[in-house]
Chain A
């Protein structure tokens, strides 16, 4: 049973960096899969942020690309999200999700972690 658990600071100051981690259990983080971040807010709904594959290859939403970095920590069995220069518009519930290589859907999701950008 694949399980994902996102975690990180619930409050980030404007212009700061949002850093989240997604712990993976029940599956090898090095397996033939990809790992994604998706966020949800009342204003924008669901928004795909980006993904990373076991090879280290990444894809990012062009609207966020200049501010986003997703990395994979295989030994620690987790992957991470960094979003720089945050504003109130980045306030959202952040989900991590799994995607199979060669597929284009998210088959397992973590519970999500709420991040508020405020001073």
Chain B
């Protein structure tokens, strides 16, 4: 089971919107609604941002939103802020014996 494909890096200026893609297959991203996104600051544990493709847990800013089209999921960060500088990972339930597959990770830089 290969990792889900994410761009290595995405950057934007404060206030802008950026989108991070997460490309998988029909066995994972395209086949199940169980795509989640995590934010990880250096030296910290991942933090849940989005679950079930587009749901936000309580306490997570509405600036974070998720969507999916076919085998590709996306995370959009609106009104980019300096504190959004971090690594972002998608993950999906998969029908393969791996059960969960993570994305390769995207480093977000706020210019």
Interface set, chain B 43-87, CB cutoff 8 A to A: 44-48, 51-52, 57
Q: Is the interface of B mostly helix, strand, loop or mixed?
A: loop
Question: Which residues of A are found within 8 Å of B3, using beta-carbon distances?
Answer: 45
Asked if A105 meets B99 with Cβ closer than 8 Å, knowing A46-B89, A46-B105, the reply is: no
Asked if A62 meets B46 with Cβ closer than 8 Å, knowing A46-B91, A104-B34, the reply is: no
The reply to whether A62 and B36 form a contact with Cβ atoms under 8 Å apart is no
The reply to whether B52 and A112 form a contact with Cβ atoms under 8 Å apart is no
Which of A61, A95, A104, A107 is the one whose CB lies under 8 Å from B93?
A104
Give the number of residue pairs across the A-B interface with Cβ within 8 Å.
62
Which of A45, A48, A103, A112 is the one whose CB lies under 8 Å from B99?
A48
The reply to whether A105 and B34 form a contact with Cβ atoms under 8 Å apart is yes
The reply to whether A104 and B36 form a contact with Cβ atoms under 8 Å apart is yes
Which of A45, A59, A62, A63 is the one whose CB lies under 8 Å from B102?
A45
Which of B57, B98, B104 is the one whose CB lies under 8 Å from A45?
B104
| B side interface size, CB within 8 A | 27
Asked if A61 meets B48 with Cβ closer than 8 Å, knowing A104-B93, A105-B36, A107-B57, the reply is: no
On A, residues with C-beta under 8 Å from B are 45-48, 59, 61-63, 95, 103-112
The reply to whether B51 and A112 form a contact with Cβ atoms under 8 Å apart is no
Shortest distance from the beta carbon of B46 to any chain A beta carbon, whole Å: 6
Question: Which residues of B are found within 8 Å of A109, using beta-carbon distances?
Answer: 45-47
Would you list 17 pairs from A and B whose C-beta atoms are within 8 A, ordered by A residue? Answer: A45-B89, A45-B104, A46-B102, A47-B102, A48-B91, A59-B99, A61-B97, A61-B98, A61-B100, A62-B97, A95-B45, A104-B34, A104-B52, A104-B100, A106-B46, A106-B91, A110-B45
